[in-house]
Structure 1
Amino acid sequence: MRVIVIGAGEVGSSIAADLSESHEVVVVDVDGDRVDELTYSIDVLAIQGDGTSMRTLEEAGIDEADLLIASTDNDETNIVACSAAKALGEVFTIARVKKPDLLDTWNRSDQAFGVDFMVCTDLLSAQAIVTIVGLPAARDADPFAGGTVQMAEFEIPEDSSVAGQTVQEADRFDSLTFVGLLRGEDVEIARGNTPLLAGDYVVVIGSPESVQRFGAELSPEQTPGSAEEIVIVGGSEIGFQVARMLEEQGFEPRLIEEDHDRARDLAERLPNTVVMESDATDIEFLSREHIDEADVVISALTHDEANLLISLLAKQLGSSRAVAVVEHGAYVDLFESVGVDAAVNPREITAEEITRFTHQGRAENISLIHNDRAEVLEIEINERSVLAGRTLQESMADLPEAAVVGAITRGEECIIPRGDTHIEVGDHVIVFARTDVADAVAAAL
């Protein structure tokens, strides 16, 4: 497949690097330095030019392209690039936007703007934050099979009851499977004798209730649903969307916004949120508003430095958890290493969503894990699958070793796989696999 990526920033570069392994990728950017950097770093054709220009698109081979992904930091540029591509050929177009209003317009009109699929960065980021808030200690989480199954990634604390145990010893939760272990840069398939060490990240798949129980055991002081005191710092679009989504779930968060006009606007649009006009770096204000009693503090300002400062202040004052928006992906590990419980990078989330869409094929759903070092795939079993009509034990020899079935759904039922579990046509299987074998797994299933 020939893919044209408009924009060589963090999102575009990530998408191009991922797709270049199995597709012919062309990247277009107005910045010559970025073009040169890509030319020498990944196996793509990089072109300097304006992605909205028909001449540039023709130079990129738009007439032979199957897919165009517009991923610059400018919404209008991305939409115009998709429209121009549609005028030149039969190409499937994906646009990245930040403004939810544009997504609303697109949703109301079939193929509006010449865009076949639209991804809204701010909404995706807000959804990721709300999901993390609902799962104690979770660094990442995604639903599968219409919400019947949950995948989550947890850090194992030193004082955790499972730290130092093997997977077999820790496997005492109904409807839960330990599937993967992330230790440094390594991704391991979880086996019975695999040790769970403090500081490791473990990936589990199971029913939402079992995943929540596991998270509660890792962090007993933060039981699911106990986040009654939620403070959002920053009335950015992400901050607003987080508050709106939390209101829909029955929460009554507090939101701190320094700008008078923005604070007033948010107060009118968020009936169940207490909006406070103040500088959130004012320690006296934070103490007066009892930030130390907050179960979660979400920093959603527009600058990484401010989000880091707010998160560390909140933790120092006594807040249980700190979640921060991080615009630069290179800072994510830094934030989490100095005490931020979860760092959410909008660009990384957007790149994952677009890559997930381009990868799907037979997969109903895909989640990318640990900077795309592993994947969780949901696939419906048909007659050609190596699993169809066989037990799991009989069929696992036909799958790569670096893969494990984490859950099976049959209708509304979540089945935790065992060796004698019989797989039927129409079942949905949720599989954890290292990225280097994910395509082989999808082909076998």
Structure 2
Amino acid sequence: MKTIIAGCGKVGSTLAEQLNREGHDITLIDVNRTALEKASSSYDVIGIVGNGISYSVQSEAGIEDADLFIAVTDSDEINLLSCLIAKKAGNCKTIARVRNPIYDNETAFLRNELGISMIINPEMAAAREIGRLVLFPSAIEIDTFARGRVELLKIQIPKDSVLHQLHIFELVEKLRCDVLICAVEREDAVIIPDGNFVLQELDTISFVASPKQTYNFFKKIGIKTTSIKHCMIVGGGKIAYHLAKQLLGLGLHVKIVERDRARCEELSILLPDAVIIQGDGTNETLLQEEGIEYAECFVSLTDVDEENILLSLYVASCSKAKIVTKINRISFTEIIAHLNLGSIICPKNITAEYILQYVRAMQNSMGSNIETLYRIVNDKVEALAFNIKKDSPIIGKTFDKLSLKSNLLICSIIRKGKTITPRGQDMIMVGDQVIVVTTNSGLKDICDILR
């Protein structure tokens, strides 16, 4: 699929990398020649120096033949205008990144009247992801398939858990839980387990289940399922505003610590039900005065990654709070993964993932049968959802007759709204959505699961 991306910043370069990895024909537009040269040398993309709102620049990029135009520059107005020009010049699908809250209530108009296919607000998307983690505090990560019918969750097995020294095939028999463990992280190893795999305490596991079965599984293994009532946020930026608004609407008590007095006054008006505290969130005395040791949830959202990391490490050392850490620059990922930072949120990756899901849905309508794709376990494992079409050669064959690739697991089948955990005698049928987890990258069709 031919895709043009205007903006070669954090989101634009992340999108270029991911889409290039998935085989798309990518052209990048940016006024920064150095950024384009860096991207062109790292990925197989074409770079064009210029402004995305220029018709001549878009023409040079091949807008007349493009399937998709994505605008992710630092300016909302440039993104919106460049999408309008692209729509007129190429009649392609368009996606705009729009961050200013004044557009929050106008997205329907922008889509319906101006013809922009998708509008993404990075801060609102990040707040939505954090909100899901706050409402399910035991999970490190949560992804969803089939409009929420199936969840992919990541947790760490606690010490003295009933899962310790348990074979995976014993889960159904002993715990009567219809879940499927699809990835295990043990020290530096990542394993796609079979039924004979033995779990150990402190393993980090990713599993697939329906929301009802997830709750049942957590209850059986003694993991907290009660929802959080109080949340403390350090940093009063846009993500904090969207998150607080969301949590207050769900009946939670929210406390925000922010340095800037003018921003505190603004938040007091925007969020009258929240407690706004002017102060330095990295001040240990202030945090103790605000009862950090009794906190149920702590979210570090300052603009400085190092502050967020240190804050989360401190809170982890003195409380049992659910911790969420915002990190903008994903460097030294192996080191960060071993720190006790709770759930890590990277806004640029969330924005890119939302856009990628739209792109994959476009591909699905153009012939591909990938509906959703997540990269989990530090990008070492892929979780994919395939839509099964009538011409697929794997239809009607039982799983015990399929010769599947190694390091690959069929986790779930969604059929007419019902979720099925597949066993040996189950089979795939037309119209199913099939969820696959694998360390093999580059799967583009359901047939690629076969040897």
Q: Secondary structure, in 3 states, of the residue corresponding to 1:162?
A: coil
Pick aligned residue for 2:183 from 180, 186, 191: 180
Aligned-pair distance for 1:341? 1.0
1:228-260: per-residue Cα shift (whole Å, max 9, x none)? 332112221111111222223332222223333
8 Å CA contact 1:123, 1:241 repeated in 2: yes
The corresponding residue for 1:240 is 241
Match of 1:8 in 2: 8
TM-score by length of 1: 0.87
Aligned counterpart for 2:383 among listed residues 367, 373, 376 = 376
Q: Is 1:167 the equivalent of 2:155?
A: no
Residue 290 of structure 1, CA deviation: 0.9
Q: Describe how 1:191-202 pairs up with structure 2 within 5 A.
A: 191-196=194-199, 200-202=203-205
Query: Are the counterparts in 1 of residues 370 and 445 from structure 2 also a CA contact under 8 Å?
Result: no
* Distance of 1:391 and 1:167 partners within structure 2: 21
- Which runs of no fewer than 5 residues in structure 1 stay unpaired? none
Structure 2: how far apart are the matches of 1:278 and 1:213? 42
User: How far is 1:161 from its partner?
Assistant: 4.4
Q: Verify the 8 A CA contact 1:130 1:245 in the aligned structure 2.
A: yes
Q: Check the 8 A contact 2:63/2:86 in 1, yes or no.
A: yes
Conservation of the 8 A alpha-carbon contact between 2:382 and 2:441:
no
What secondary structure is seen at the aligned counterpart in 2 of 1:281? coil
Distance 1:349 1:258 in 2: 26
Contact 1:83 1:115 in 2 (8 A): yes
Report the Cα offset of residue 422 of structure 1.
Answer: 4.3
The percentage of counterpart residues that share the same residue type is: 29
State the match for 1:203 in structure 2: 206
CA distance in 1, matches of 2:211, 2:77: 39
- d(CA) in 1 for partners of 2:231, 2:201: 28
Deviation at 1:276, TM superposition (A): 2.8
Query: SS at the partner of 2:129?
Result: helix
Report the equivalent of 2:425: 420
Q: Contact 1:140 / 1:153 at 8 angstroms: preserved in 2?
A: yes
Residue pair 1:407, 1:416 contacting (<8 A) in 2 also: yes
**Partner-residue secondary structure (3-state), 1:420:** coil
- Aligned pairs for 1:182-331 (under 5 A) are 182=185, 188-196=191-199, 200-215=203-218, 220=222, 223-330=224-331
The AA in structure 1 aligned to 2:437 is: F
- TM-fit CA distance, 1:439: 0.7
Does the aligned pair in 2 maintain the 1:375–1:438 contact within 8 Å? no
Aligned length: 441
Tell which deviates more after alignment, 152-161 or 233-242.
152-161
> Counterparts of 1:355 and 1:184 in 2: how far apart (Å)?
30
What is the TM-score normalised by the length of structure 2? 0.86
Residue identity in the other structure for 1:11 = V
Q: Structure 2: how far apart are the matches of 1:93 and 1:178? A: 38
Is there any run of 5+ residues in structure 2 with no aligned partner, and where? Answer: none
Aligned partner of residue 347 in structure 1, secondary structure = helix
Q: Deviations over 1:180-234 (max 9, x none)?
A: 234677654321233445665422100213324545677x5x6123423321122
Shift in CA distance, 238/426, structure 1 to aligned 2, threshold 3 Å: same
CA deviation digits over 1:59-111, x for unaligned, max 9?
22222222112222332232232223223222221122223443532223434
SS of equivalent to 2:82 = helix
Query: Which stretch shifts more, 278-287 or 429-438?
Result: 429-438
Contact 2:386 2:446 in 1 (8 A): no
Contact 2:192 2:407 in 1 (8 A): yes
Further displaced range: 292-301 or 307-316? 307-316
Match in the other structure for 1:367: 374
RMSD value, Cα:
3.0
Q: 2:445 aligns with which of 434, 440, 445?
A: 440
Distance in 1 separating the partners of 2:39 and 2:79: 20
